Structure 1
């Protein structure tokens, strides 16, 4: 019985995953892409520009990334993970629940309202309709992953008797949305051009923590 040949597109994608496994080369490409995107913006940047900045051939570039959109999302994930790690570390740095949530919220909000993060969100939203798999990947590796990590933290605090929460997954998203209230959307839609001040970030997050604990803190 003759084997059915794999479609060329699927075969090419699998070959790309196998070939593009050198972490140093991948890092080199992403570093070059970061310089190009910062200097020219997403729309004006080309794969030729990125290949030149990364000092690789265009063929090598396409071995690692099938197009500019996927390269940009990979870059977003790298930059976001480095900054997000510091935010989540804040949860374990302070045993005081209110202080830990405040420190986390402030660090996360600084990341979300930064120029790079906002540009990333706008670009992914812009291509999500014609490339839904890219939008899903961005969401699953970003907001959804973050909400799960917060939910895990809340689970631990419930087990310690500090919180009373039936649905920590829902509570995690509620807290994240409270921290972003009034600050993220105006920046996302470019209604507000400048990042909020540290004082404004602290004020909004403090209110979020107060509301969250008023609902979920254990009554002793």
Structure 2
């Protein structure tokens, strides 16, 4: 009488459902990112992506509906990796000013990095033909950056350390202040290198002081 293979055998050969293998998904994203960053959105074909990822076109479409879906997934993965540290900064025990300064430095470093700038330029080059790509790119970025910041501001308002009537507007204002004169010149090629630490500190310090002058209660004027 046989009882079949031991449980460990079937567990060791576990098969993922179609479209649910995380390793295969990452392999597709890695190959697609290589093609997109080299050729741009319009220049990247699904055949090129399949070759770079080492998968068939049928497999590719099991995981991603189309090129927009695929590029959006690449951006989302990059964003999750880059922005993971922001929550840690805002959840720490430092004074408000130091948290805001740390958040701003981290944000500017991400936005001014070569890889993120390439993704932004790809979107700008494709958005006129494919506005949905730009909308998904912008909405995802705003959710990560301003969403985390807005939640932090709401907590500080509830604790009585800030006075803010519209945390959503205030979070957008702080992002604009923190990136002023740094991100857009990098995006459009006027500045070819990432901002040096002294210039970054100057802009961030000014952003924090302006923000706290408008929304602070007087208990949050720690140096930054």
User: Fold-level match, TM-score > 0.5?
Assistant: yes
Match of 2:40 in 1: 42
Q: Which moved more, 1:143-152 or 1:206-215?
A: 143-152
Match of 2:141 in 1: 142
Question: Hey, what's the Cα distance between the residues in 2 that align with 1:213 and 1:19?
Answer: 51
Question: Hey, what's the Cα distance between the residues in 2 that align with 1:94 and 1:193?
Answer: 36
Match of 2:189 in 1: 190
Question: Hey, what's the Cα distance between the residues in 1 that align with 2:117 and 2:19?
Answer: 29
Unaligned runs of at least 5 residues, structure 2: 1-16, 220-224
Unaligned runs of at least 5 residues, structure 1: 1-17
Structure having greater relative contact order (Cα 8 Å, sep ≥ 6): 2
Q: Given that residues 174 and 207 in structure 2 are in contact (C-alpha distance below 8 angstroms), is that contact kept between their aligned partners in structure 1? A: yes
Q: Given that residues 83 and 144 in structure 2 are in contact (C-alpha distance below 8 angstroms), is that contact kept between their aligned partners in structure 1? A: no
Q: Which moved more, 1:129-138 or 1:105-114?
A: 129-138
Match of 1:129 in 2: 128
Deviation per CA, 1:10-63, whole angstroms, max 9, x where unpaired? xxxxxxxx953433321121122234445x342554333322222211221233
Match of 2:165 in 1: 166
1:56 alignment partner, SS class: coil
The alignment yields a C-alpha RMSD, in angstroms, of 2.0
Distance of aligned partners of 1:94 and 1:42 in 2 relative to their CA distance in 1, 3 Å threshold: farther
Give TM-score, length-normalised by structure 1.
0.83
2:91 alignment partner, SS class: helix
Q: Which moved more, 1:119-128 or 1:76-85?
A: 119-128
Q: Which moved more, 1:60-69 or 1:145-154?
A: 60-69
- Deviation of 1:80 after TM superposition, in Å, equals 1.2
Q: Which moved more, 1:89-98 or 1:58-67?
A: 58-67
Deviation per CA, 1:117-144, whole angstroms, max 9, x where unpaired? 1111122122223222222221221124
- Deviation of 1:169 after TM superposition, in Å, equals 0.8
Q: Which has the higher helix share?
A: 1
1:104 alignment partner, SS class: helix
Match of 1:80 in 2: 79
Question: Hey, what's the Cα distance between the residues in 1 that align with 2:68 and 2:82?
Answer: 21
1:147 alignment partner, SS class: helix
Question: Hey, what's the Cα distance between the residues in 1 that align with 2:33 and 2:197?
Answer: 26
- Deviation of 1:172 after TM superposition, in Å, equals 0.5
Question: Hey, what's the Cα distance between the residues in 2 that align with 1:199 and 1:72?
Answer: 35
Match of 1:27 in 2: 26
- Deviation of 1:196 after TM superposition, in Å, equals 0.9
- Deviation of 1:198 after TM superposition, in Å, equals 2.1
- Deviation of 1:208 after TM superposition, in Å, equals 0.5
Match of 1:4 in 2: none
Match of 1:99 in 2: 98
- Deviation of 1:148 after TM superposition, in Å, equals 2.2
